[in-house]
Amino acid sequence: MTLGQRCAGVAAGAATVLALAAGPVTAAVPFKEIGSAGPLTSVAIGNELSCQVAHAGDSVLELFPSSAKPGDCGTFLAVGETLFAPDFANHDGSATGFAGTTTPFSPISQTEVSGQGSATSPLQVTTVAGVGGTGLTVTEKDSYVTGQESYRTDVTVRNTGGGAVSGILYRAGDCFLQESDTGFGFVDDANKAVGCSINANNSPPARIEQWFPITRGNQFMEAGFSEVWRAIAARQPLPNTSRSGESIDNGAGISWSFSVAPGAAATFSHYTTFSPTGVAGPPPAPTPAVRVPSSAFGSRGLLETPSNSRCVSRRFFRIKLRKRYWPVIAAVTVRLPKVTRVLRRRPWGTIVDLRGLPKGRFVVRITALTTTSRTIRGTRTYRTCRGKLRGGRPKL
- 237-269 burial by CB neighbour count: b if 16+ within 10 A, else e? bbeebbbbeeebbbbbbbbbebebeeeeebebe
The answer to whether the CB of 223 falls within 8 A of the CB of 242 is yes
SS3 content of the chain, % helix, strand, coil (to 5): 10, 45, 45
**Residue 44 bridge partners (DSSP):** 33, 52
Q: Measured at the alpha carbon of residue 45, what is the angle toward residues 48 and 225, in degrees to the nearest 5? A: 80
**Residue 137 bridge partners (DSSP):** 130, 158
**Does domain 303-383 match CATH 3.30.70?**
no
pTM: 0.71
Range(s) of the chain covered by CATH 2.60.40: 303-383
- The H-or-E segment that residue 195 falls in is strand 193-197
pLDDT at 25: 37
Who's near 76: CB < 8 A, 6+ residues apart? 83, 84, 85, 99, 102, 169, 170, 171, 172, 232
Give 10-residue mean pLDDT values along the chain (396 residues). Answer: 49 36 54 95 98 92 96 98 97 95 98 93 97 97 95 98 97 91 96 97 96 98 98 98 97 98 98 94 74 74 73 67 77 79 78 74 82 79 63 41
- The H-or-E segment that residue 304 falls in is strand 303-304
Distances (CA, A) of 58 to 46, 147, 150, 266: 22, 16, 15, 36
Range(s) of the chain covered by CATH 2.70.98.40: 3-275
pLDDT at 290: 64
Q: What is the CATH number of domain 3-275?
A: 2.70.98.40
**Residue 151 bridge partners (DSSP):** 272
Who's near 189: CB < 8 A, 6+ residues apart? none
